[in-house]
Amino acid sequence: MQMRRNRKWMGLAAVLAVLAMLAGACGSDEEAVDDGLFRIAVVAPSASNDLAFTQSIVDAVHVLDGVDVIDITDGTFIVADAAAAVRGYAEDGYDLVIAHGSQYGGSLQEIAKDFPDTAFAWGTSSDTFGLDNVSAYTAASDQGGYVMGAMAAVMTSSGVVGVIGPIAVGDAKLYVDGFVNGAAAQDPSVTVNVNYIESFSDVALAAEAAEAHIANGADILTGTAQMVVGATGVAAENGAKWFGTQSNQTALGEDMVVASQVYKWEKALQGIVNGVKNGDLGGSAHSINLENGGIVIEFNDGVDAGDARAIGEGLIADIKARMVDTGA
Amino acid sequence: MTDFFTMASLVFVVGSGIRLATPFLLAGLGETIGQRSGVLNLGVDGVMLLSAFGAYWTILETGRPVAGLLVGLGVGLVMGVVYGVVTVTLRAEQGVSGIGIFLFGLGMSDLLFQKKVGTPLPIRGFGDWHVPVLSRIPVIGEMFFQHSVLVYLAFLLVPVVAFLLNRTTFGLNVRAVGENPAAADSLGVSVARVRYKTILLANGLAGLAGAVLSIELGIFQQNLTNGQGFIAIALVYFGAWRPVGVMGGALLFGMVSATVLQWKTLGLVSGAASSLTAMAPALLTIVALVVISRTVGQPAALTRPFERGR
């Protein structure tokens, strides 16, 4: 009796498997959509509302002109999943497919060759792989880092500032380098401890890194990438101030976040969209910075930064006027 | 390097190591109970994620950490019932079922987070509890007696679980079912009932581990556990299926992680060395696993479904 029941289940499983394969086979022949609408797809590693890297691109694509359809696949922290999503969007005939993460570069390089008539964009990077259908975008995050590093050097009482980084690549490294240089330029006596935890997603380790900074005397912290939500909790618990980057992070602590460097990727993406519409599928690199308005420092009026705010505003003006070298 | 060998540095490393070890310990203790009865649950991480979200959302809505902790426990128990039905009643293959539970937890916790919360907002947990008198002992007090109440709870469970497994009739039945379920069955022990109980305990503790994680961090995020459930399973092997051994493994993992963090914070390692040291906890665990697996045998019936007469 048991054997018969098992056979029945196995038979049902086999039928379901065949149906699934047939459905898959039908799906792969799907025709690309051609209805005159301009379609953008975004593939990004973390949640759309992570108050950091992914949210910055999601916010940006929603304010672009001339875009009719926007599709987002977020949470693809596994590169293979992201690659499958990018390829799927290309097969479905999207006009511009954005792979938002420097870890996606290798996959995109392969996929873009298979779809020469589809435009791709990826960041943060300035490498287009020599392909005419790939645009690259990056952020001069060192600029905001420099401004906020200088502010932190003015505000610290202990003379120690802590930085939590993910992996020393891309805009994360630029931001950290800019922050360190800004603090050193403002006050060389201030110690800036940097801790790259070698992960973009380990919230618990980021929190412990913040604890390490606090234990070593830091009263001001900053960090970049989506795992910093763990560190902000530690900062709040210990009365430390926080400088944010990528998105406005004031929601993580209205009496803690002094200022946030906010990415306005639309300043780079609008040019890419316009180019695609005019038949230029890519081949160039785009950068957002303070000067072109792609990077904005948003101050939190809920925190009294004292003299630091004026110093920060002055540095923003100087960087825009190219009077300051961030050294990154 | 002299900066590292200071009392303040030592206090941080030990305190941080204990905090980092806590979720591993809770999940590892639960998995130990399960594996001693012959049930492997690779879905620990998924259960932790669902419970972490449940606890986080409850506190966000009610402001009550105790309610969050109970919800986390409850979610773990519910997932235990599901896993019990799948692996004990339906006798499904444990490895694949566990992976299914993990993937379900990973996806569902993120879906619920996106639908119910959206932007991550901080919550307030229990805060640190300074144990009267003991917390005032110089150095020792700061290292061991100024933690969250959840940390003490996790470490107090070590002797409780050890007693349960080694000094009670229930524990005897668990071990018998894990070593030779047919023999246990012939002596009148209900293998299914014992395994249901151990699965509920294991998943309940995994649920607590997830709840502790989100409550202590004061936040929830997609894939918050970052694979901690899988490390907890490895620590069960590391600890040779004994609660004290699992605690040792969790503490070693936590202490090495904390040491590496402190080195990096003090600028003692940088560049490529920084990346290499980040792998140290995992490498140490693997080395220990290889050594231990050569000397200690796993429960004989581990991963084997039981069917009377077969």
Write the pLDDT tens digit of every residue in A1-33.
444 444 444 444 444 444 444 444 444 444 455
Per-residue pLDDT, B154:
97
Give the range among A89-93, B240-244, B287-291 with minimum mean pLDDT. Answer: B287-291
Token digits of residue A262 = 């906010």
Distance from CA of A116 to the nearest CA of B (A): 34
**What would the mean pLDDT of B266-271 be, rounded to a whole number?**
78
Residue burial B227-240, b: 16+ Cβ < 10 Å; e: rest: ebbebbbbbbbbbb
> For position B269, what pLDDT does the model report?
78
CA distance B214 to B203: 17
Using CB atoms and an 8 Å cut-off, which of residues 217-236 of chain A contact chain B? 226-227, 229-230, 232-233, 236
Asked if residue A271 and residue A123 are part of one domain, the reply reads yes
Query: For the residues B65-75, what does the mean pLDDT come to?
Result: 97
pLDDT at A158: 97
Residue type, B210: G
| pLDDT at residue number B2 | 62
Q: Indicate which CATH number applies to the domain containing B103.
A: 1.10.3470
Same domain (yes/no): A198, A127: no
Same domain, A38 and A167: no
Q: Which helix (H) or strand (E) holds B113?
A: helix B94-116
Q: What is the pLDDT of residue A121?
A: 97
- pLDDT in the model for residue A34: 64
In A, minimum Cα distance to B260 occurs at A197
Contact A208 B19 (CB under 8 A): yes
Cα(A74)–Cα(A85) distance, integer angstroms: 10
Q: Pick A12 or B204 by higher pLDDT.
A: B204
Q: What is the mean pLDDT of residues B305-310?
A: 79
Contacts of A197 in chain B (CB under 8 A): 261, 264, 278
Residue B262 within any structural domain of the chain: yes
Which residues does B14 contact at the CB level (< 8 Å), separation at least 6? B143, B144, B255, B258
Q: How far is CA B47 from the centre of its chain?
A: 10
Containing structural domain, residue B16? 7-120+153-293
Continuous segment of H or E residues that includes residue A287: strand A285-288
Structure token pair of residue A232: 């902000």
Q: Which tokens is B68 given?
A: 């969050």
- Residue B143 covered by a domain: no
Residue range B218-232: mean pLDDT, rounded = 92
- Residues A33 and A133 occupy one common structural domain: yes
Test the A interface: residue of B3, B265, B308, B310 with most A CBs within 10 Å: B265
Residues of chain A predicted below pLDDT 50: 1-31
End-to-end CA distance of chain A: 73
pTM of the predicted model, to two decimals? 0.83
**Closest partner residue to B226 among A204, A209, A232, by Cβ?**
A204
Q: Which residue in B114, B127, B224 is closest to A203 by CB distance?
A: B224
- Name the residue among A195, A230, A237 with its Cβ closest to that of B265: A195
Alpha carbon distances (Å) from A211 to A130, B14, B77, B207, B261: 44, 12, 32, 25, 10
Specify whether A19 is located in the same domain as A130.
yes
From CA B248, how far away is CA A234, in angstroms rounded? 26
CATH number of the domain that A23 lies in?
A: 3.40.50.2300
B12 to A195: CB separation less than 8 angstroms, yes or no: no
- With 0-12 CB in 10 A as exposed, 13-18 as middle and 19+ as buried, what is A3? exposed
Q: Indicate yes or no: CB of B223 within 8 angstroms of CB of A226.
A: no
Residue B108: what pLDDT?
A: 95
Inter-chain contact A203–B217, Cβ cutoff 8 Å? yes
Contact at CB, B221 and A47, closer than 8 angstroms:
yes
Residues A175 and A195 grouped into a single domain: yes
With 0-12 / 13-18 / 19 or more C-beta atoms within 10 angstroms meaning exposed / middle / buried, residue A30 is exposed
Higher pLDDT, B192 or B295: B192
* CB-closest option in B122, B257, B275 to A252: B122
Does residue A168 sit in the same domain as residue A299? yes
Q: How far apart are CA A103 and CA B226, in angstroms?
A: 18
Helix/strand/coil (H/E/C) assignment for every residue in B178-200? HHCHHHHHHCCCCHHHHHHHHHH
Domains of chain A: total: 2
Q: Is A61 on the interface with B (CB under 8 A)?
A: no
A97 and A214 both lie in a single domain: no
What DSSP state is assigned to residue B87?
I
Specify the higher pLDDT residue, B135 or B281.
Answer: B135
Domain-embedded: residue A326: no
Closest by CA to A53, choosing from A155, A133, A190, A166, is A166
- Measured in angstroms, the CA of A114 and the nearest CA of chain B are apart by 30
- Given an 8 Å threshold on Cβ–Cβ distance, is A208 in contact with B257? yes
CA distances (Å), A220 to each of A81, A152, A239, in order? 37, 7, 9
In chain B, % of residues over pLDDT 90 = 73
Q: Which stretches does DSSP call E strand in chain B?
A: 128-130, 146-148
How far out from the chain centre does Cα A122 lie?
11
Write out the residue range of the structural domain in which residue A269 sits: 3-138+264-288
pLDDT at B38 over 90: yes
Q: Are residues A22 and A124 in the same domain?
A: yes
Among B217, B259, B308, B310, which would you mutate to test the A interface (most chain A Cβ atoms within 10 Å of its Cβ)?
B217
When CB atoms are compared, the residue of A51, A75, A168 closest to B120 is: A51
Q: What is the mean pLDDT of residues B255-263?
A: 90
* Mean pLDDT within B192-212: 97
Give the mean pLDDT of B287-296. 77
Q: Would residue A325 count as lying in a domain?
A: no
A133 and A269 housed in the same domain:
yes
Query: B222 versus B284: which is more confidently predicted?
Result: B222
Interface contacts A/B by beta carbons within 8 Å: 119
Q: Distance (Å, rounded) from C-alpha A32 to C-alpha A93?
A: 4
Task: Count how many domains chain B has.
Answer: 1
- To the nearest whole angstrom, how far is the Cα of A4 from the nearest Cα of chain B? 15
**Looking at residue B290, what is its pLDDT?**
79
Contacting residues for A317 by C-beta, under 8 A, at least 6 apart: none
pLDDT of residue A19: 47
Q: B271 is written with which tokens?
A: 């560049």
Distance CA A91, CA A114 (A): 10
* Per-residue pLDDT, A27: 41
Distance CA A170, CA A176 (A): 10
Same domain, A255 and A268: no
- Cβ burial of A313 (10 Å; 0-12, 13-18, 19+) is middle
Where are the alpha helices (H) located in chain A, listed in sequence order?
2-28, 53-61, 79-91, 105-114, 141-155, 170-186, 203-215, 228-237, 266-277, 307-320
Per the model's pLDDT, the better-predicted residue between A21 and B92 turns out to be B92
Contacts of A211 in chain B (CB under 8 A): 12, 16, 19
Q: What is the pLDDT of residues B96-129, one digit of tens each?
A: 999 999 999 999 999 999 889 887 889 999 989 9
Interface of B with A (CB under 8 A): 8-9, 11-12, 16, 19-20, 23, 110, 113-114, 118-122, 127, 213, 217-219, 221-224, 226, 228, 257-258, 261-262, 264-267, 271, 274-275, 278
- Looking at the fold, whether A132 and A207 belong to one and the same domain comes out as no
Lookup: tokens for B180: 């030779």
